[in-house]
Structure 1
Amino acid sequence: MSATERHALVFGATGFIGRHLVLELGRAGVRVSVATRSPESARRLADWLAEHGCAEAPADLRADFTGPTLLPDALPDDCGDVTEVYNCAAAYRFGMTVDEARRANVDSVRAIVAFAARLPRLRRLVHVSGYRVGGRAEASWTEEQRRTAYRTLGAYEASKVEADLVLRAEADRLALPWTVVNPSVVVGDSVTGESDQYIGLATTLKDLWNGALAAVPGNARTFVPVVAVDHLARFMTLLPTDRAAERASYWLLDDDTPTLPDLLTLVAGHYRTRTPALRVPVPVIRRLPRWITKADPEVLTFLSSDRYPTASARDLADRHGLAMPDTATTIRRWADHLAARRFGDAPGRARRFTTPGGFRTFELGEPDAPTLVLPGLPVNADTWAPVIARLKDARAVDLPGLGLSAGHPGDWPAWLAALLAETGPAHLVGHSIGAAAALDAASARPDAVDRLTLVAPFFLQPHPGRTVRWTPLTRRYLRRVRPADLARRLTGDTASADALETSVADLRRSTAATAARLLASTGRTTWRDDLQTKLQRYPGTVHIITGSNDPLTPQARALLEAHPRATLTVIPGAGHHPQLTHPDELSQALHEPTEAHAPRAR
């Protein structure tokens, strides 16, 4: 059967696996319809597909799992020629009640099988189960077996086991051709790392990133295998076309996934954090109070040394020329994606890690955008997100050792040179201490900088107070400060507290000491004099932006008046962090071309 003869109907199309499946079916040339619960979810799916290169949205059918008919308005016009049905619909979360789990994961399977039995041209029903679920010997459960399973396995896993049994029994009773795929832990896209699931193994990675993982659960043999979501989706598109897949189950995972301790060591090396030396066996974790372990009991059932029958899945993939992507690379890319989005606290596509000059660097905004913002202290690139969104063709980049970027201030010269070499002629914007980095880079490579903008450049402003120069005190303060208190200190009120949540998180995680040392160094007269000399000698156009509440020194104003290509913009009512308090005015000032004349307030 050719792709043009196929018509796939996907349930659960708005979920993590479902979205990628719809995308891969479309890429294969298969006509796709999706069953969604609301117009809003269908629009979100269409938007996601468009962002991933799928210009034509799939046909949207309204599903009602609570009514007597699953798709009351679909047959026969919309589904009469459906050749394959994919069931990706499930509730993947822990802590559900038994009734919630059964409604979401068992009753939905009954409804989908009953509906599929009405399709005259159906060639295959493909059901997504799980690697800890498939292969149960029972054909069905007694009531006592059901109660025992839900008590011992937890509501989520038990409901998936029951759904698997129901699928097989009901499909066989109705003579439906079925295939079951049992994926392991589904991680991000093998190329981009993209994922929006932040439970299970992702939670462990979050703890590792934040230095909150006290011990590695399990032992040296604990095996939590993974599979990339795009590989899973491509594998699933093959199943309806392969006769050998009828009434077969496939465990899809990489047998070479590192054991859990080695997997965490791999990610820790990538994150440049430490893997805890302590390992706690699962039976011990079960006996400890949850307030100590912080481990959901349902997660513990996945911590096993079991291995799985993957040969049939490998054979099918080989027959169709489908190769498993390198799992270590996939894990690193997935780990990057999770960290760049702060494990779900900062969603959005315009966030990524790059490696200019080999330095792991966080940036937000448009990739390769020519306007490049270097944030100041003690904040990060996230505080510039509203400005970046207004400028559109711009990005903010955390300096090495600050925000989410790895490295240390000693890396700045080589990093900046590599960054400018990759970007080409740029509009370089430096804020506060970032202004020093921007000026150094522009002075070293004036040919690589079309425009230089310095926002609140500390070396043109009064020296900091004595307390800032005492590094231990500043470090202690930054490690413990709350967002509201930091907002009050930086801007005079607490309105920017939410915008500073991520900056506070970074300071607590790893950057407080570096930020404290850099803040102390801003008072060094020799450094300030050197930067002022570089500004005097800089041959290009330079634009200075300050707030009216954060003025330049008289000496600095005289320096600018003597500069033939300097312009000064003063934002009324702004202080040292206009990106927090006056994003509209700052965006407008950055957008306007710099004029080559003596400085004036505007």
Structure 2
Amino acid sequence: MSLEDRHALVLGANGFIGRHLVLALGQAGVRVSTANRSRESYQRLVRWLAERGHDQVPADLRVDFTKASLLDGECDDITEIYNCAGAYRFGMSVDEARRANVDTVRAVVAFAARLPNLHRLVQVSGYRVGGQDPASWSEEYRRQTYRALGAYEASKAEADAVFQGMATELGVSWSIVNPASVIGDSETGESDQYLGLASNVKDLWQGSLPALPGTGQTFVPVVAADYLARFMTQLPMDTATQRAAYWLLDDDTPALPDLLTLVAEHYGTKAPRTRVPVPLLKRLPRWLTKADPETLTFLSTDRYPTESAHAFAARHRLAMPDTTTTIRRWADHLAAHRFGDAPAGDRRFTKPGGIRTFELGEAGAPTVVLPGLPVNADTWAPVVAAVGHARAVDLPGLGMSTGRRDDWRAWLTSLVTEAGARHLVGHSIGAAAAVEAATAHPCAVDQLTLVSPFFLQMHPPRTARWTPMTRWHLRRTTPTALAERLTGTTDHATALQSAVADLRRGTVAATTARLLAATANSQWRADLRAKLQRYPGRVHIVTGSHDPLTVEGQSLLDTLPHATVTVIAGAGHQPQLTHPEDVAQAIGEQTTFPGPQGGPGVRTVRERPR
């Protein structure tokens, strides 16, 4: 069968594996149709493909697994079917799991048997459930399996048996892939699966994993999503793969405790020292382990028959990506997207000055926002999006970045001399960082925009200097309480959920408390004012009318030849929360400066009514 003759149908195309498969098939030049439950789900798939530079739109066929016809549309020229449909979810009832994972297989095989030009039906099974013997699945055996494994894993095992038995009986040419835990794309780390192993990684990130599950022999293997997809696209072209099952995983995946320790080291956090053997873990109450009982069956010392998959990959020159690198990229993607809690957008970790740094917005954009306290880059996301060609980065030790105050110099140097930051937008404590970077490297920074620059405003209250109490309070605050404290209203609690989550993680609250205390240091404030006076570039100050500059601060700006001031009516110290549109407009404006006749000290004040 030539490439031009291939017409692939993908079921479950909107799932994690299905999307990567559609992309891989399209990149290989295969004509693709996708079975979708609704027009909306199809459009989501098309957008996902387009975002990855693939504009070859697959055909849209409507699927209904309860109908004998299965699909609406012309299907006679389909040459291969990939069944990625089903439910990956713990806590299902037996009936629900069987409808999602067993009944769909019956429908797909029956449909495949009616197609006149079908060369291959490829089924996605699983590394723990593959290799079932269809003859052994009596009613009693089925009941025992569901009791032992739980609804999800048992339904996948039954589906594997049903698929083999029914496809063989109906004369359908078939292949099975049994992937291990499918983690992110090997290049980008992208994944939107947050069950299973990803939930352990989330606990590590949040510092809520009390102990490492398993021992040095506990094996939870992984495979990259894009490698799995490329492997699957080759199966119909190889006659040797008929009625064959392939276990896809890296045999050298670190033992589970070592894998989690690897991720912890990458995150810059401490992995728990205690290891809990699986037999003990299964005996502990769920309220203590916080683990779904169905997931515990995956904690095993078993090994799997991967020889045939390795031989197939070698035959087709498929190189498995380095698993350690893929794990790190996957862990980055999970954290950057807050394990599914973050809004869609361009989010990543970078390493200016060797400091692991979170940033959002356009990579390499010249306008860079340095957030204040006790907020983070996420609170600036609406402003960054509105400004365009901008990004926001968490300062060292704050938000989702590692590091500490001592890292500022090297970090800022790298940010402005290597990472392309030309216009620094510093908010509150970020204004201090912006001034230090600009005066250290005046030729690298074209413009400063200082939003609520604390060193030109009133001193903070005395309580800000009580670092232990501030740290204790910040680690225990809620989004509602923080919103009321920062803005005087609870309206912005949702926007502060990520900031509160960051304050509860690691040493972020302690770093925040120390920096808050430092803002009261008169010597530092004077030093920052002196540095600002020496900066030769353009300076734009943005303040809220409820958070004005001091007389001293206003007098300093009067001495600067290229300084402008924007006052946002009704705003306080956190205008990005209360007045994001006004802040974005102020940042994005092209400031015009007076001619020579104006002389130094000319200042423009623009009041922005609400």
Whether TM-score is above 0.5 comes out as yes
1:599 equivalent to 2:589? Answer: no
What's the counterpart of residue 558 of structure 1?
Answer: 555
Distance 1:575 1:421 in 2: 33
1:361 corresponds, among 346, 349, 357, to 357
Deviation at 1:294, TM superposition (A): 0.9
The residue aligned with 1:25 is 25
Q: Does 1:447 align with 2:451?
A: no
How far has the Cα of 1:286 moved from its partner? 2.0
Please, what is the CA RMSD of the aligned residues? 1.0
Other-structure match for 1:5: 5
Q: Secondary structure at the match of 1:552?
A: coil
Q: Which residue of 2 aligns with 1:571?
A: 568
Task: Letter of the 1:6 partner, please give it.
Answer: R
Residue in structure 2 matched with residue 180 of structure 1 by the alignment? 176
Q: TM-score, normalised by structure 1?
A: 0.98
Alignment of 1:52-63 (within 5 A): 52-63=52-63
Q: Aligned partner of 1:526: which letter?
A: Q
**Is it true that 1:194 corresponds to 2:190 in the alignment?**
yes
For 1:525-540, what aligned pairs fall within 5 Å after superposition? 525-540=522-537
The whole-number CA distance in structure 1 between the counterparts of 2:421 and 2:296 is 53
Q: Secondary structure at the match of 1:29?
A: coil
Q: Which residue number in structure 2 is paired with residue 384 of structure 1?
A: 380
**Distance in 2 of aligned mates of 1:398 and 1:601:** 29
Moved more, 511-520 or 281-290: 281-290
Task: Say whether the 8 Å CA contact 2:367–2:421 is kept in structure 1.
Answer: no
1:481 partnered with 2:494: no
Match of 1:588 among 578, 585, 589: 585
Q: Distance in 1 between matches of 2:449 and 2:48?
A: 35
Deviations 1:448-502 (A, max 9, x none): 1222100000000011110001111111111111111111111111111111111
Distance in 2 of aligned mates of 1:370 and 1:100:
51
- SS at 2:432 equivalent: helix
Are the counterparts in 2 of residues 425 and 450 from structure 1 also a CA contact under 8 Å? no
Contact 1:542 1:594 in 2 (8 A): no
Out of 258, 261, 267, the position equivalent to 1:265 is: 261
2:415–2:421: 8 Å Cα contact kept in structure 1? no
1:136-215 correspondence to structure 2 within 5 Å: 136-215=132-211
Letter matched to residue 40 of structure 1: E
Q: 1:425 to 1:488 in 2, by over 3 A?
A: closer
- Pair 261,304 (structure 1): closer, same or farther in 2 beyond 3 Å: same
Matched, 1:470 2:466: yes
CA distance in structure 1 between the aligned counterparts of 2:283 and 2:353, rounded to whole angstroms: 49
> Aligned to 1:301, what secondary structure does the other structure show?
helix
- Aligned residue in 1 for 2:292: 296
One-letter amino acid matched to 2:546: N
Alpha-carbon distance in 2 for matches of 1:44, 1:128: 22
Tell me the TM-score normalized by structure 2. Answer: 0.97
**Whole-Å Cα distance in 2 between the matches of residues 199 and 181 of structure 1?**
20
1:311-350 per-position Cα deviation (integer Å, ceiling 9, x unaligned) = 0000000011100100000000000000001111114241
CA distance in 1, matches of 2:524, 2:345: 38
Q: Aligned partners of 2:448, 2:345: CA distance in 1, in Å?
A: 28
- SS class of match (2:29): coil
Unaligned runs of 5+ in 1: none
| 1:295 aligned counterpart, secondary structure | coil
* Structure 2 unaligned spans of 5+: 595-601
CA displacement at 1:427 relative to structure 2: 1.5
In 2, the alpha carbon distance for the partners of 1:392 and 1:168 equals 53
Are the equivalent residues in 1 in contact too, given 2:365–2:420 (CA < 8 A)? no
Structure 2 Cα separation of the partners of residues 595 and 550 of structure 1? 25
Matched residues in 1 for 2:418 and 2:326: separation?
25
Alignment correspondent of 1:517: 514
Residue 596 of structure 1 deviates from its aligned partner by 2.6
Q: 3-state DSSP class of the match of 1:378?
A: coil
Count of aligned positions: 598
d(CA) in 2 for partners of 1:217 and 1:560?
Answer: 59
SS at match of 1:372: strand
The residue matched to 2:446 in structure 1 has which SS? strand
CA distance in 1, matches of 2:345, 2:67: 36
Worse-matched range after superposition: 539-548 or 386-395: 386-395
Q: Is the 8 A contact 1:566 1:595 kept in 2?
A: no
